[in-house]
Amino acid sequence: KHHPDAGERASQQARLDLLTPVVKGWSTELAVEIASLGVQVHGGMGFVEETGAAQYFRDARITTIYEGTTGIQANDLIGRKVGAEKGATALAMIADMRELDAQLKRAGDGFSVMQAAYVLAVDSLESATHWLVGHYRQAPEAAAAVAVPYLKLLGTVAGGWMMARAAMIAHERLSEAGVDREFLEAKLATARFYVEHLLPQAGALAQTVTQGAASTLALDPAAF
């Protein structure tokens, strides 16, 4: 907002605009999953009120509606954000994501799994973005049919980007004296968990984006 370069201000504002529906849509959908898991791990007691887990789930569940339903956020993302500018901001962010690849490689064998998963995820996001840009104007219904999977894909990969960046910082700081090693090691552990358990979803989501529109549109409206 206060950067002296007008071009940089515009670029960062465009990125903020791009990520706003992702933060509202993907983050809240993930919150529902996490809160649901919280009910699950408590067993039957999670379903009743004594543990408080059910209240957390209800509180999380409404966020995908209060913030504007996920479908609305997704259509805003593919329409006013990605489609309207032919993917410029999304592709610029993907280029920034790729800069982390070299850092992960330099970090050594301990990061080889993370680096490989990260590259595959970014590739998936890039291919899905190109598909979306290519179909948005000529087949807007097809683009809209896969808007939610694209939102989840972008959120998943952006989340992986942030987690991998955090892992790199933690890895570098562990060699310093007087640091909170427990905190930094926890950062590495959570980043690896994300990369190994959540980030691989990117490939499946990208496949849904690039191949899933036809089956959705094949349904007769009367079927609903």
CA distance 70 to 76: 10
Structure tokens of 126? 């890039």
Beta strands in the chain (DSSP E): none
Give 15-70 as a 3 state SS string. HHHHHHHHHHHHHHHHHHHHHHHHHHHCCHHHHCCCCCHHHHHHHHHHHHHHCCCH
From 29, 67, 141, 172, active-site residue: 67
Element (H, E) at 136: helix 112-136
212, 149 Cβ separation under 8 angstroms: yes
50 catalytic, yes or no?
Answer: no
CA nearest neighbour of 141 among 80, 75, 59? 75
CA distance 37 to 53: 9
Residues annotated as catalytic are 67
